[in-house]
Each structure stands twice: as structure tokens, then as C-alpha cells.
Structure 1
């Protein structure tokens, strides 16, 4: 019966009252305005938000509530809508600035809707004050920019800012120290027990650090992984060492996570603010160097920064950078160390020795740069160049009519393990046309220990090609007779320490005689390295050592220094 009942016409006055009640009760600021931006309604929430009364605002322009350029932009958006019907702002919430009666500015979210009414044309604007939301967003951004999300401690950059401030404001009678801590074996926790367990431990570390030095000016931070930082402003009494021990004791206590107990020994690098330290970054760099000295130590818990170590590391890093340039700039060259028959002084061969002519420092000691070539992997490229250059030089001496000299070239373990050595040797011999038997490749005992089976296959292939093989620095490492039996060596090079012990140690002389005799019994040539005196040479001759090299016989030199030695 209700479906057929005619609908009663709305009472206009009653509708106006109802809409007015809605506007007044609304929690959001609601403003109505016509197409010219003139305000028609300004509800109580708008009065509270902007600080104006409705009587003050009705009849004024809406852009009165907006600072520039927002006011101009808003007028342009409405004009564009009126002309084209394209809704750049209509029905779309947007964030902008508003201005209160006292002139203060604050962020708002404004959503304008076209009512569809005519005479007058009306738009409704719903306004929300988003100051609190913006504040929460700013605080969240500040936290993630300056703090570690897992532990809540300052991150690296923020910690350095705080420590810089501490250094600037530190009283003259106080000192500032930075401690960088790392937990040994922590890296195994995640893969073994899971990430959740690792994170629980890190939170416990952070909480323990918070409990330390509460009565002193301090900064605690997490750098990465299990690396934490403590910046401390302290008085000299009690000494810093007592505070360091407090940190070590607290962090050495057991950690419990997911029903497991863990003991992770902390290691620490310590740097104190002193001459040459102008900022926290300097302290952190020094503490990192100190930590590197004890990070894997079993019994040394912490170390202080050492200026000499710092300088050595700087020098090393600079050299490493320069080495990359040297490879491309052709700064390397070879000297040749002559080898002689000790019985008659006849020159039988040379050993190619790598040298580096640095454009600023001159010739750099091989002891400085060859380990860096190994560490950076550049030794593979440089080793290939050494092999090519040495073989080409030996072939040039052949072409000049000189007696055929054996060319010994040292191989890096990286070259042997790299997989391309056999092909490189074959290409070098094909390119230079050097007879295979003139090339001798030297390897050290350490390579035999690292990869016994793989190295044997490579060396047996080289022997099958007719290339001679030498075991270098015999006696300097983990010498084992099994190596001499298992590998196809032609030459045994006795480490220089045995040669220097001649006339100094009966025990070392006994070992030297045994090595010479062993080499003879195995039908290997024995070369004594590092001969410096005629007395050493005479002793070696007397006990049957066939070959020798060293400064006492002839110093290493350029290619042009070799021919005169063959005629002398």
C-alpha cells in the first residue's frame, strides 16, 4: 500500500534548517562559495580552524584564507572548470597551505565538490587541518633518516653529528673517545638459527649499551650488522681502560634468543680525540683501523688507534689506487737476476723480477706492491705481461747470438688457480717462438698446500710441454718431502734464510746440507738463493750445490746488463 502512496513535496524551509544543522554539527570545516569564490556558509568547525567568525567571512572571497601562490592557483582551477568542465580540483582532495586570522600558516587538505545548484552556483569545500599528520610524517621521516629501525639507536650519520657536537662542546679537562665494537661469530647466527634470532640478539646488545655510561655524556649507535659505536666524553680519572673493560664485560655476558644461549666475544677498536683529529669521522676511521687489528684475534679484546698503522694503511690504499693506473700506463719493468754455475762461475740463466717505476715515488719496493697485486687480483694481468715480456727477452738474447739462458718466471697462486695459465703459456711460446726448455716456471709451497690435486694436473701438463718447473723458497713454509715426490719439479730453490745462516748456526747448516743431498738424490738441480759473500759461495760449492744467485754474485739488472756477464 505504501508503494502507491504519493511522495510529499519537501518543505524548503525545513530542508534549509536540516542542512544548516548538518553544517553546524560537522566535525570538518565546511565552506560553501559561489563561482566567483564568494563565501556563503562558514560553519563552526571552520570558525574554530581559521579563527574568523561566520559573520566576518560570509560575503568575502575564499582566497582570503589562502596565501599566495595557493590563492591564485585556486581561482585559476575554478575558472578553468567553469570554462571547460575539466575537474582539476573539483572532487579531488589536495594538500595546500591555509592562513589563520592571526596570520599563521598551517597545512590543510581541501576537497571541493560541485553541488550542481544554480542561482547561485555553489561549491562545497571540506577542509581538514593536517598539521598533526604532517608532524607525524616528519617525525617518522626523521626517525628513519637518523635512527636504526631495528634497535632504535642512532645510525652512523646521526651518531657522527652527535659526536661532532660533543667534540665541539667538550670542556678542556675532559676527553672524547670513540669505541667501535663488533661481535665475533655473529655472522653465523642468521644463517644457522634464522634472522629473528639474530635480530633479538642485536636488540639485546643495544639495550646493554643504553645501560652503560648513563651518568656521562655518550653516544650509542648501530653502524651495520653487529658493529656498534660508543662515543664517550669522559674525565681522565678513572682511566679509559676501566670503561673499556666495563663494555667488554657487559657485552660478553650470554645472550638468550628463541630458547638458545649464545656467547659472542666482543672485539673493539678505540680512538681518542687528539692532535690531527678534527671531527668524528676521523675518530671513526681510526677506530675501524684499530678494530681490524683485533677483529679475528682469539685473545686480544681491544686495540687503540695507532698513528703509524694509520699512515701505513693510507700509504697502502694510495698504492693500490696507483697500481690500477700503473697497469695501463706501462710503469712496470723487469730486472733480471743472474744464476751461475757455482763450480766454474758460468752464467746459466736469469730470474725475471718485477719492478715498478712510480711517477712520483720512483722505484717502489716489490715487498710493498706485490702483495697488493695479489690482494687486488691484478697479479693475473700483470703476471701475463711478465711471462710475455720475459719470454720475448730470452728470445731476443737468442737472436743476438748469446748462449741460451734459462728464463725463470715466478707464478702467483692466483695465476695457477685462475684456469687460464696453460693457454697463456702456450700462446706466449707460440708468439715469441721461445724453445720450451728455456722457460722455467717457479711456484711456492703455499700453492701445493691449497690445491694439491688441481695443481698437480696443471704442473704435469706443463712438464709434458717440455717446460721446466721449480719449487721456490724451499724451507720457508710447510716443507714436506711428499711434495717433491708428488710433483714433477726439475729445480729446488733453497730459501735464503738457510744461506744467511752459514757460519751462524750449526743446526741450519745441517739442514742445508740435507736439502742439497736430498735434491741430488732426487736428480733435481739445487739453486741457492740470496748468496751475499764469497764464504757462502765457497761453502755451497764444497757441499755440492750446483747453482746459485744473489747480490754477492751479481745484482739484478736491465736486459743490457746481461751480455757482459756472459763474457766475463
Structure 2
């Protein structure tokens, strides 16, 4: 893992394999406890009013540079019974409930607050990516809402990115293309997450006018040992860049993967080797340290005393 100059706070509660007493993965054994006994939608609604949902941030680096280029903002739920829950515990329920719009509004308002705060501190080149489902990105009122938020805070629209995280049904591509174009007309960037996974990525690339491709981390598992894996990734990067897309390489978990990724020009890098998701206090510490400059060194990042969790 990269050793940040100011030893940024490592929240570290997002990983598939990562678990603590206060943060755990959702599994089917939890369903009776949360959904049946309490009513998970009712719990979420109360959680919204009580401020139980919080945010963490995973940094990105631009290859060949030594400073943070931006963050992804991720949501967690501090459930009063089940502890700290990751999105797998509730996001699919959110997306299919009457609360979906409430969560989108909360997420966008928080993202605008963060970008405004960074601008005030001189970090106006940082980007922030939020993750939305297809229905939420396709909301008819979303472009107007984005414009209003950005104008109110006098923020450049291209600092905000919206990542499309859903599996897209082919029958809905035309409708989705219109929605993406409406969002991009505001100046906000749209990203296609998990690019390269599954059988539809090239179809989506051809039909959806997105700005950013986030290459699926599963493609990195055998890099740099296997020449075929390197070739596939290099080809995807070149393809995306020839089409004028910004590329983000996800899932960087080892020093070897990181060093190899830095040989690819003009991409952004993200993964646990660079940093696990960190708290707001960790972000502030990181940005205060030579504007996010880092040292490429081994060793884990110790938690900060300022971390709330």
C-alpha cells in the first residue's frame, strides 16, 4: 500500500474480504433481522431523518503523477442494531423503493458540499464521482437539479462525475442514451462503471456517449504476470483513449499492479494498494499533506486518531 506523506486515515471497511466488529458484509442471515423484523425500508427512512447514513471517499491518482486527482464518494449506514453496513446491505433495496430519490438527493447535495469546500481551500481541480442507478440517472428532473446546485455554489460542472453502476438492459439503451446526453449537457461527466466485464461492454461503449470508462478490477487479477491479461487491458485503454474517453483503472491491489499501471499514459488509478476508502477527516489530512502528494512505499496505513470510526 502507498505510504501517504501524512499517513492518511485508513477507514478500510469497504473490501469484499474486510470485516470488523463494527462493519460487516451483508449476508442472507441478516435478512430476517433487518428486513422482516424491522422493515428495512422503514429503517432506512428513519435512518435518513436521524443522520445514520455517512460517506467515505476512495482516492484516485493520475498515472505518472504524485498527487490525488479525485475521489469516489461511497455511502455507509450506521445501523443502530446491525452496526456499520456496506452498500450491499441496502442499496438494492433503496433502488427499488420509494426512497431512491431521497438518497440521490442526499448524495448529490453532499457531493456539491464537498466540491465547494475543496474549492474554498484551493483544491478546485479535484473531481468527485457519485454512483447512481439507471432509474436515478434517468430522472427527468436530474439535469435541472444538477444545474441549480452547480450554479448556486458557482462550481465548474466537470468536477462532478456520475457513475452508472447498473447492468443495462439492451431494450432500454435508447432511453438511457437520452438521459445521459441530458446530464452531459449540464457539463457533468458521466462514467460507465465495470467496463470490460460481461458481454455487453463494447455494445454500451458504441451506443452510450459517456465521458469516462472505469475498467473492471477483475481484469487486473493476473497482471502483470500474464501477457494475455496485460494485452487485454492495454487494448481496452488504447481503444477508450482513441474514442476520446477518460480511463480509470480499478482494482489495483499490489505494488506490481500499481507499477505496471503507471506505465499506461493518461489514465487514473484506483484500488486498495493506493488507499482503502477513508473518512472525511482522512481526506482533509491527505489534502493538507502537500496537496495530496504521496510516497511510493510499502506498509499499511495506520488509522488516524481523528477518524470517527
TM-score (structure 1 length as normaliser): 0.43
Change (3 A) 1:451 1:557: same
Q: Which stretches in structure 2 are left out of the alignment for 5+ residues?
A: 1-26, 294-309
The offset of 1:481, in angstroms, is 2.4
Offset from partner CA, 1:187-232 (integer Å, 9 cap, x none): xxxxxxxxxxxxxxxxxxxxxxxxxxxxxxxxxxxxxxxxxxxxxx
Q: Which stretches in structure 1 are left out of the alignment for 5+ residues?
A: 1-307
The offset of 1:324, in angstroms, is 2.4
Match of 1:353 in 2: 74
Mapping of residues 395-474 of structure 1, within 5 Å: 395-444=116-165, 446-447=167-168, 449-474=170-195
Match of 2:279 in 1: 558
Change (3 A) 1:347 1:450: farther
Instruction: Tell me whether 1:533 sits opposite 2:246 in the alignment.
Output: no
Match of 2:234 in 1: 513
How far apart, in 2, do the equivalents of 1:514 and 1:500 lie?
16
The offset of 1:504, in angstroms, is 5.9
Change (3 A) 1:544 1:435: closer
Conserved? CA contact 1:335–1:556, under 8 Å: yes
The offset of 1:506, in angstroms, is 4.5
Conserved? CA contact 2:248–2:270, under 8 Å: yes
Mapping of residues 90-129 of structure 1, within 5 Å: none
The offset of 1:528, in angstroms, is 0.9
How far apart, in 2, do the equivalents of 1:390 and 1:486 lie?
28
How far apart, in 2, do the equivalents of 1:468 and 1:418 lie?
16
Instruction: Tell me whether 1:314 sits opposite 2:35 in the alignment.
Output: no
Mapping of residues 134-153 of structure 1, within 5 Å: none
Offset from partner CA, 1:94-136 (integer Å, 9 cap, x none): xxxxxxxxxxxxxxxxxxxxxxxxxxxxxxxxxxxxxxxxxxx
SS of alignment partner, residue 427 of structure 1: helix
Going by fraction, where is helix more abundant, 1 or 2? 1
Mapping of residues 19-38 of structure 1, within 5 Å: none
Instruction: Tell me whether 1:501 sits opposite 2:200 in the alignment.
Output: no
Conserved? CA contact 1:445–1:477, under 8 Å: no
How far apart, in 1, do the equivalents of 2:111 and 2:201 lie?
30
How far apart, in 1, do the equivalents of 2:257 and 2:232 lie?
15
Conserved? CA contact 1:393–1:559, under 8 Å: no
Q: Which has the larger radius of gyration?
A: 1
Conserved? CA contact 2:57–2:279, under 8 Å: yes
The offset of 1:386, in angstroms, is 0.2
The offset of 1:337, in angstroms, is 1.1
Instruction: Tell me whether 1:382 sits opposite 2:100 in the alignment.
Output: no
The offset of 1:527, in angstroms, is 0.5
Conserved? CA contact 1:336–1:559, under 8 Å: yes
TM-score (structure 2 length as normaliser): 0.76
SS of alignment partner, residue 472 of structure 1: strand
Conserved? CA contact 2:62–2:266, under 8 Å: no
Match of 1:479 in 2: 200
Change (3 A) 1:534 1:506: same
The offset of 1:562, in angstroms, is 2.1
SS of alignment partner, residue 465 of structure 1: coil
Conserved? CA contact 2:173–2:207, under 8 Å: no
Mapping of residues 167-178 of structure 1, within 5 Å: none
Change (3 A) 1:502 1:373: same
Conserved? CA contact 1:496–1:531, under 8 Å: yes
Instruction: Tell me whether 1:370 sits opposite 2:86 in the alignment.
Output: no
Conserved? CA contact 2:146–2:186, under 8 Å: no
Change (3 A) 1:450 1:336: farther
How far apart, in 2, do the equivalents of 1:365 and 1:480 lie?
26
The offset of 1:312, in angstroms, is 4.2
SS of alignment partner, residue 96 of structure 2: helix
How far apart, in 2, do the equivalents of 1:423 and 1:362 lie?
36
Instruction: Tell me whether 1:339 sits opposite 2:60 in the alignment.
Output: yes
How far apart, in 2, do the equivalents of 1:376 and 1:315 lie?
19
Offset from partner CA, 1:432-489 (integer Å, 9 cap, x none): 3322121111113623635212211121122222211111111233334242233222
Change (3 A) 1:381 1:363: same
Instruction: Compute the RMSD of aligned alpha carbons.
Output: 2.3
Q: 1:490 aligns with which of 194, 205, 211?
A: 211
Mapping of residues 39-438 of structure 1, within 5 Å: 311-317=29-35, 318=38, 319-438=40-159
Conserved? CA contact 1:379–1:412, under 8 Å: no
The offset of 1:395, in angstroms, is 0.7
Structure with more relative contact order (C-alpha pairs < 8 Å, separation 6 or more): 2
The offset of 1:347, in angstroms, is 0.8
